[in-house]
Amino acid sequence: MSTMPNFKSLPTREASGSEKTIIEEVLSLYQCKPTEKAYSHYAENAVFSDPVSIAQGKAVIQSQFNGMPKIFKQSDTKECRVLDDKSKPNAIVLDLTQHYVFKLGNFEKTLNSLITLELQNGMIQRHEEQWDGKPNATAADGFFGKLAEWRKIAGAKLIHAVVGPDPSKV
């Protein structure tokens, strides 16, 4: 589990050309516009984690983001800053503010997230989203952390079984 207290105080930096491409494609996923091109930046054994799910493997990650248009009528990026986190030299760290409009009840929510994209050979190996920069519960947090981790893995597998990884079927 990574933790970054007060990530808002980190300085920003310019993304490199290859980083800009990855960032744009990942943002398209958050904007409910999944494409094969966006998923091409993920390693086959990549892991995505947020407070709701832990998706292990590229196909399961695809299902998570492919499911978003089924829940949200709209999702807009309000702000995205590339943070200069010297402690993570092989990662793209983003301060993302995303506005979601749910399909049911016309409920809206603006969410600020710390996004860490850990890269290996130019591919996303791990994609972690921390809402308001708060660390996600893991097995390392003891019994309740382990229960939360099991629930998040099971939830991701269920979404994968129901939604599927093909973005053309969204």
Please name which of 113, 90, 99, 109 lies closest in space to residue 22, comparing C-alpha atoms. 90
Q: Are 110 and 99 in contact (CB under 8 A)?
A: yes
Q: Is 78 within the bounds of a domain?
A: yes
Most confident of 109-113, 130-134, 159-163: 109-113
Mean pLDDT score, 85-92: 94
For residue 6, name the pLDDT band (cuts at 50, 70, 90): confident
Are 114 and 7 in contact by the 8 Å Cβ rule? The answer is: yes
The answer to the question of residue 94 being in a domain is yes
Residue 2 reports pLDDT greater than 50: no
Question: Is there a domain that residue 2 lies in?
Answer: no
pLDDT, one tens digit per residue, over 17-66 is 999 999 999 999 999 999 999 999 999 999 999 999 999 999 999 999 99
- The CATH number of the domain holding residue 137 is 3.10.450.50
φ, ψ for residue 12 (rounded to 5)? -100, 165
Q: How many domains does the chain contain in total?
A: 1
Position 39 in a domain: yes
In angstroms, the CA 77 to CA 111 distance is 10
Q: Is position 3 within any domain?
A: no
* Boundaries of domain holding 109: 8-163
Within a domain: residue 170?
A: no
What is the band of 122 on the pLDDT scale with cuts at 50, 70, 90? very high
Instruction: Let me know if residue 60 belongs to a domain.
Output: yes
In a domain? residue 57: yes
Of 81, 56, 73, 65, give the one whose Cα is nearest residue 154. 56
- Is the model's pTM score more than 0.85? yes
